[in-house]
């Protein structure tokens, strides 16, 4: 294990070959790429890591490959959410056995979505998993709403569930509501990094997002934490068009992977089916956008 879960964690994409098998060579390259760009940690097998499209064996192989490549240099959080609780626990045990620093778990789709049912789910998992759990609050993937009261209850009752990946808008208002109820959560934003500055200003500990230009978010985070607020604002505002464009509904992952391919991080930009392709106009707009924000060579680490 590498250390504290805090700062800018890249939600790692999962590269595939042209025939949709996991591209483990590109995966290793992508891990090294994110480390080179200054990521404080990696979160793997999240929604944008296409975990739901992978078999359990593939998820374990991806996990092992990433953790082996990182080799303890930075923390790794492994997404272990699964519709079956026992499989979630199995994946979590395997993750910590491989050297993960935390696991990220969202509730599955549930008939009973009551606070007591959700509390019982995390309590059941925590009977086996005593290492760090990142609670994932992202209603679009499971149609489960977790109120600030419930989240504070989880943080109080399950000490190792002290981390929250929050993607339930309005984000900033929910951060403040949670902070009013508990100080036991390290809160991470997401949603492509669109609200990073505001999240930090409300008391977030960082973000977990797959934005393809990790070094931009790291520079914003570092400047903000150093008290150089004007610098943080200037960096964020300059590159906000990149964040905005990448975060388009339906095609956000396909755009993200195209950026990563252009940056030399992976060989093939195609997600695993089913996915939404991007058209020729979008490819042209990506080139236009890079030019507009002053990125002549996307393979080079930005000088921020």
Mean pLDDT of 214-232: 98
Number of separate domains in the chain: 1
Phi/psi for 22 (5° steps) reads: -65, 130
How many angstroms separate the CA atoms of 271 and 300, rounded? 24
Strand partners, 104: 79, 134
Identify the CATH number of the domain in which residue 221 sits: 3.20.20.70
The mean pLDDT value for 105-113 works out to 96
**In a domain? residue 246:** yes
pLDDT the model gives residue 178: 97
Average pLDDT over residues 152-166: 97
Q: 2 in a domain, yes or no?
A: no
> Following DSSP, what letter does each residue of 178-239 receive, concatenated?
HHHH-S--EEEE-GGGTTHHHHHHTT--EEEE--S-HHHHHHHHHHHHTT-HHHHHHHHHHH
pLDDT classification of 4: cutoffs 50, 70, 90: confident
Q: What is the DSSP letter of 7?
A: E
Question: Does residue 301 lie in a domain region?
Answer: no
Domain span at 133 = 7-292
Examine residue 300 and state whether it is found in any structural domain, yes or no: no
Mean pLDDT calculated for residue range 46-53: 93
In a domain, 297, yes or no: no
Residue 299 lies in a domain: no
Query: pLDDT-based confidence at 158, cuts 50/70/90?
Result: very high
Kindly report the average pLDDT of the chain as a whole number: 96
User: 66-99, pLDDT tens digit by residue?
Assistant: 999 999 999 999 999 999 999 999 999 999 999 9
**Element at 37 (helix H, strand E):** none
Residue 3's pLDDT band (boundaries 50, 70, 90)?
low
Query: What number is the average pLDDT over the span 2-7?
Result: 82
Domain-located, residue 303: no
1 located within any domain: no
The pTM of the whole model exceeds 0.75: yes
Average pLDDT over residues 291-299: 96
């Amino acid at each position: 294990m590498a250390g504290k879960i805090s700062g800018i964690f890249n939600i790692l994409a999962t590269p595939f070959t042209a025939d949709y098998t996991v591209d483990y060579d590109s995966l290793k390259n992508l891990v090294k790429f994110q480390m080179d760009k200054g990521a404080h940690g990696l979160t793997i097998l999240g929604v944008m890591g296409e975990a739901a499209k992978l078999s359990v064996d593939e998820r374990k192989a991806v996990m092992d490959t990433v953790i082996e490549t990182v080799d303890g240099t930075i923390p790794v959080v492994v997404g272990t959410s699964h519709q079956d609780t026992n499989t979630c626990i199995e994946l979590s045990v395997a993750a910590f056995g491989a050297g993960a620093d935390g696991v990220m778990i969202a509730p599955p789709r549930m008939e009973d979505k009551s606070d007591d049912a959700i509390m019982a789910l995390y309590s059941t998992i925590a009977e086996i998993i005593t290492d760090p759990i990142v609670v994932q609050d992202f209603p679009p993937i499971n149609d489960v709403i977790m109120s600030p009261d419930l989240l504070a209850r989880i943080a109080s009752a399950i000490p190792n569930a002290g981390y929250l990946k929050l993607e339930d808008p309005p984000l900033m208002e929910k951060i403040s509501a949670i902070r009013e109820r508990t100080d036991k959560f390290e809160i991470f934003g997401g949603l492509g990094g669109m609200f990073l500055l505001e999240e930090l200003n409300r008391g977030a500990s960082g973000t977990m997002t797959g934005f393809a230009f990790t070094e931009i978010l790291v520079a914003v985070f570092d400047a903000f934490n150093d008290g150089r607020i004007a610098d943080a604002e200037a960096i964020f505002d300059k590159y906000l068009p990149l964040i905005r464009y990448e975060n388009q509904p339906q095609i956000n992952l396909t755009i993200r992977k195209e950026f990563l391919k252009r940056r030399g991080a992976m060989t093939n930009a195609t997600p695993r089916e089913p996915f939404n392709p991007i058209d020729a106009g979008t490819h042209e707009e990506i080139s236009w956008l890079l030019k507009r924000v002053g990125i002549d060579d996307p393979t080079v680490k930005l000088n921020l």
